[in-house]
Amino acid sequence: MKKNEDKMNRKNKKNRDNSASSMFRNISYALNLIWKVCPGRIFIDIINGLCGGAAEILIDILLLRYIFKALVNDYDFTKVVGFILLIMIVNLVFDWNFSWYNFKYRPVTDEKLYKNIYRMMFEKANQVDLSCYENPEFYDMYTKSVKDIIRYVTKVSDSVFGTMGTVFSCIMAILIMIPLDKTAVFFVLIPIAIMLPSSLKINKIRFVLNMANLSFGRRKDYVQRTIYLNNYAKEIRISNIFSVLSDSFFSVGKNILANIKKYGMKISIHLFLIRCPAFVIIYFGSVIYALYRCTVSKTIPLDDFVVLISVMTTVSYNLFGILWSILTTSESVPHIQIFKKFMDFDTAISETQKGDIPEKEGTVVFKDVSYTYTGQDHPALKKINFEIRPGEKIAVVGHNGAGKTTLVKLLMRLYDVSEGEITWNGKDIKKFDLKKYRDLFGIVFQDYQVLSVSINENVMMRKIKSAEDVETAKQAMIQSGIYDKVMTLNKKADTTLTKEFDDEGTVLSGGENQKVSIARVFAKPCSIAVFDEPSSALDPVAEYNMYESMMKACKDKSVIFISHRLSSTIIADRIYMFENGEIIESGSHKDLMDLNGKYAEIFRLQAERYHA
C-alpha cells in the first residue's frame, strides 16, 4: 500500500507544474477557449466583475458614509433622499444585469461552449490511436478532466473576472481608507504574507486528493454503468455477479473516504490559517484599533469610525475572497493543463493524414509483418507473409487468440506494424491518404456495435442524404437477410435501434444485430470486404444464407473472412491457418485436407460434432 502511495505521489508531482508562468499559460488557454466560441462573454464578464465591485463600494461604504455625514452635518433631508434614490437606481441596474446574465445570457453561452468544446474533444478522440482506448493509464490521466472540462473552464473564467471585480473593490476601499487612517492599511497588507502560502498549500493537497481518487471514481462509474446497461442485464440476473459488483462499488467508496480522511484534516488546518488572519487580524484587529482612535485618543469622529469599520469589513471579506478565487483557479489549472495535453496528444497514426490516393483495385501484400501490443512481451503476430489479389476470396482461420483480428487491425491501419510492411500495389500503406485508403475496405468487426440511430443510418454509417441512400440501405439489408424483419417494424428502416433515447425504438436479437452490421459491408462501395467472425451469432441456416449472399454481393471484390468455423472455408480460394500469431498452413481447402495437418484435424472434428 505504501509503495502504491509513493508511486501515486511521484506521479502527481511529475504531472503537476505549479509555477506562476504555467498557471498563467493555462488560464490564458482556458480563456482563449471561451474567446474562440463567444468573445462577447469575455467583455461582459469583465463588466460584470467591475460592476459587482462598484456596487459593493457604493452600498457598503459610500452610501453608509454619506448617511452618517448627513446625520453629523445636518444635511437637507430631500438631498439625502435624492442621493439614496440615485444609489437605489444604480443598484437596480446592477441587479437587472445580474439577473439577465445568469438566467439568459450565461445559459446560452454555456451551451455554445459545451457544444464547441465537446466537438473539439470528439474530433480529437476520433484521432487518438486505438491503443489509447486499451490503455488504463490513458483513462486514469484524462477521463475525469475531459468529462469536466466545461466546469473547469467556466470556473477559471468566473474566478478570474470575479477576482478582477474584488480587486477593484479592494483598491477603491483602500483609497477611501488612506485619507481616514494610513496606519490601518497595514492591517490589510500584513496578513497577506500569512495567508498566501496556506492558500497554495491547499491547492496542492486538493490536487493530490483528486488524483488519488481518480481511478477509484472511474471504477465506480464502471459499476454504475454495468448495473443499468441492457448488455449486462441477463448475466447479472441469472448469476451472483451483482454481489461482486456491489462489493467492488462500496469498497471503492471506502478507499475514497480513506483518502478524504487522510487529506481532509490537512486542508481544514490550512483553511483555518487563511481565515484566521483575514478575520482576526484584519477585521477584529481593525475594529479594536478604530475603537481606540474614536473613544480613547479621540482622533477620528464617529462618522469616520463607522466608515473605517465598514471599509475594513469590506477589505477583510474581499481579501479572503481573492485568495479563495486564486485557490479555485489554481485547483482548476492542473485539469486545464491535462485537457491541453490531451488536445495536443501526438498520435502515431493521424486520422487526418494526407498522402497518395490509392488505386481502387490492387493487391495487398504482408511482408514479414510482426506486431507486439504495448506492454506485452510476446508478439501477437510473427513474420506474417501473404497476399490478397484482386477478386480473391481469402479465409483466415484459427483458434481464439491466434492473431486473426490483429491482422485485420493492421490491414485497416488501426495499428502500424512493429516490423515488416504492408503494401497496396507495391507501395507501403503508410504513404497513402488514410481516409482514402480505409475507403477501400468494407468491414464488419467481431465485436460489432449497433448505435442508437435509425436502421438506415446504422447500415449506411452516416446521415441519409437522398432516396438513393435509402435504396442502397434496402438492397444491403436484403442481401444480409434482415430486410424482412425490418419491414415488420412500425417505422420500418427509420426505426431507432435500442430504446436508450427513443421509447419507440426496437431491440433486435444478437443474430439480427449481426445481420445489420453485415449489411454495412454490402452498402459500401469498397474494393475489399472484410468479415471478422460474421456468423458468430447466426444459426446454421442463417449462416449458410449469409455466405451465399456474401459471395453473390462480393463476386467482383476481394473478400477476407475470418472464422473459427471451418465449414465456411470451403468456398475460399485460399485459406491461412493461424496459430500463436503465425501462419502454420496455407492453401485451398483441398490442399489442406490432403496435407492432413492441423486444418484437416479441426475440420473433421467440427464436421463430426455438427453431424452428431
The pLDDT tens digits for 470-480 are: 999 999 999 88
Note the pLDDT of residue 337: 82
- AA letter at 169: S
Query: Would you list the domain boundaries of the chain?
Result: 21-343, 361-440+527-542+557-612, 447-525
Give the span between the Cα atoms of 560 and 547, in whole angstroms.
Answer: 12
Q: Which residue has the cell 481518480?
A: 214
Band of pLDDT at residue 3, cut at 50, 70 and 90: very low
- Give me the residues paired with residue 367 across strands: 421
Whether residue 1 has pLDDT greater than 60: no
Whether residue 177 has pLDDT greater than 90: no
Residues 6+ apart with CB under 8 A from 526: 439, 440, 441, 442, 557
Q: To the nearest 10°, the Cα dihedral for 298, 304, 310, 312? A: -60
Note the pLDDT of residue 146: 65
Lowest mean pLDDT among 74-83, 240-249, 258-267: 240-249
Band of pLDDT at residue 367, cut at 50, 70 and 90: very high
Q: Which CATH architecture does the domain made up of 361-440+527-542+557-612 adopt?
A: 3-Layer(aba) Sandwich (3.40)
- Short-list 584, 196, 610, 151, CA closest to 396: 584
H-state helical runs in 344-427: 404-411
- The 3-state DSSP class for residue 576 equals strand
The edge-to-edge listing of strands for the beta sheet with 381-388 is 381-388, 364-371, 419-424, 427-428
Q: For the chain, how many residues are written?
A: 612
Note the pLDDT of residue 192: 67
Q: Does domain 21-343 sit in CATH 1.10.3720.10?
A: no
Note the pLDDT of residue 422: 95
Average pLDDT over residues 257-278: 79
**Residue 495 has what DSSP assignment?**
P
Average pLDDT value for the chain: 82
Average pLDDT over residues 407-434: 92
Question: Do 361-440+527-542+557-612 and 21-343 have the same topology in CATH?
Answer: no
CA distances from 235 to 230, 232, 238, 239, 338 (A): 10, 6, 5, 6, 37
- The 3-state DSSP class for residue 71 equals helix
Note the pLDDT of residue 610: 59
Check residues 225 and 260 and name the one with the higher pLDDT: 260
- Short-list 112, 87, 102, CA closest to 44: 102
Lowest mean pLDDT among 51-55, 84-88, 539-543: 539-543
- The 3-state DSSP class for residue 560 equals strand
Q: Is residue 412 a contact partner of residue 441, using CB atoms and an 8 Å limit?
A: yes
Note the pLDDT of residue 140: 60
Q: pTM of the prediction?
A: 0.68
Q: Is residue 371 a contact partner of residue 380, using CB atoms and an 8 Å limit?
A: yes
Q: Does domain 447-525 sit in CATH 3.40.50.300?
A: yes
CB atoms within 10 A of CB 83: 16
Average pLDDT over residues 296-314: 82
Whether residue 7 has pLDDT greater than 60: no
Note the pLDDT of residue 477: 92
Note the pLDDT of residue 318: 81
